[in-house]
Chain A
Amino acid sequence: MSFTLKKHGDVVVVDVEGQLIVGNRQELKQKVLDELERGERKFLIDFAQTGYIDSSGLGVLVSLSKKIREHGGELRLADLNDDLQTLFELTKLDTLFQISDTRERALEGF
């Protein structure tokens, strides 16, 4: 499991490879907060290579979204597979995030 951050224009794109769970959520949180601290305001997390997410992982996404909004920025999500989409629907977090089918669509108009 790993997190890779790359810049696409003024958007920080984070790839989540593997699981986003209690054992690694702090790593993701810290990496994104570090970028926020450096002045970045637009974030996209791409789940194309993600397996499953537990409640801790979902919690970190909620927390980051709030933090980024407080700084005048935005966090978007992309590339959720069917299971992850179901997870977001079960928790109604699909109503909290802007979720796109693909990275490209998420980047459009960001």
Chain B
Amino acid sequence: MRPRQARLADVAWTGTSAVPDDSLFDPVTPPYVALDVEIPSDVRQIEPIVNLVTEHCRSLHLTRRQCSLNIPVALSEALSNAIISGNKEDPRKHVRLRATISDRALVFDVVDEGGGFDMASVVHDPTTSQYIEQEDGRGVFLMRQLMDRVEQFRGPHHVVRLTLNR
């Protein structure tokens, strides 16, 4: 895991920033980037970065469930898709995770160097009898269930944006 130069602050994660923690709860606090890191395209890198994020969730006054279920599972899914489907586990490629915090929401941008797959095309319901005994096919479903919004952007890079309202 390596910080990017674009990293603006890490107040929520390290507590070492000049920005007081109280500012996180100030209703006029503008959105700020709390974490901006790159990880190699290796699924073993998912757990440490997810742990880093979830360890500090409670300082943001999120619910216990948001910290122990919604964020870790949805973020794991997005990172996993970026590493496996996006970067095809190519060790020369990286996945970028950018977390932005405002008084209204947490926004996670997961950026890979590949094309990913079209999430809009994922319309099956893995809870139905047709799919429930299949090993795969629950990742996008879980992101949609556990986040308030899941978006996908294509440009120079492929971005999956997860938004969790506070």
Contact = CB atoms under 8 A, between A and B. Distances in A.
A91 B137 CA distance: 11
B68 A96 contact: no
B126 A23 contact: no
B68 A90 contact: no
Tell me what chain B mostly uses at the interface: helix, strand, loop, or mixed. helix
Given A90-B145, A92-B127, A92-B132, A54 B73 contact: yes
Interface residues of A, number: 28
A62 B47 contact: no
B43 interface: yes
Contact of A62 (B44, B135, B142, B145): B135
B9 to A, nearest CB: 27
Contacts of A66: 133
Interface in B87-137: 126-127, 132-137
Contacts, number: 78
Give the interface centre of A54, A66, A91 by most chain B CB atoms within 10 Å: A54
Interface in B128-156: 132-139, 141-142, 145-146
B72 A52 contact: yes
A106 interface: no
A51 B68 contact: yes
Contacts of B139: 54-56
A58 interface: yes
Contact of A55 (B69, B127, B138): B138
A86 interface: yes
Interface in A81-102: 82-83, 86-87, 90-93, 95-96
A23 B73 contact: no
A92 B138 CA distance: 11
Contacts of A91: 126-127, 132, 138, 141-142
Interface string B44-68: 1011000000000000000001001
Given A54-B80, A83-B69, A93-B132, A21 B47 contact: yes
24 contacts: A19-B72, A23-B44, A52-B73, A54-B77, A54-B142, A55-B80, A55-B141, A56-B139, A59-B134, A59-B138, A62-B133, A62-B134, A62-B135, A66-B133, A82-B65, A83-B65, A87-B73, A90-B145, A91-B127, A91-B138, A91-B142, A92-B132, A95-B132, A96-B133
Nearest 3 pairs of A and B residues by beta carbon: A55-B138, A59-B135, A92-B127
Interface of B: 43-44, 46-47, 65, 68-69, 72-73, 76-77, 80, 84, 126-127, 132-139, 141-142, 145-146
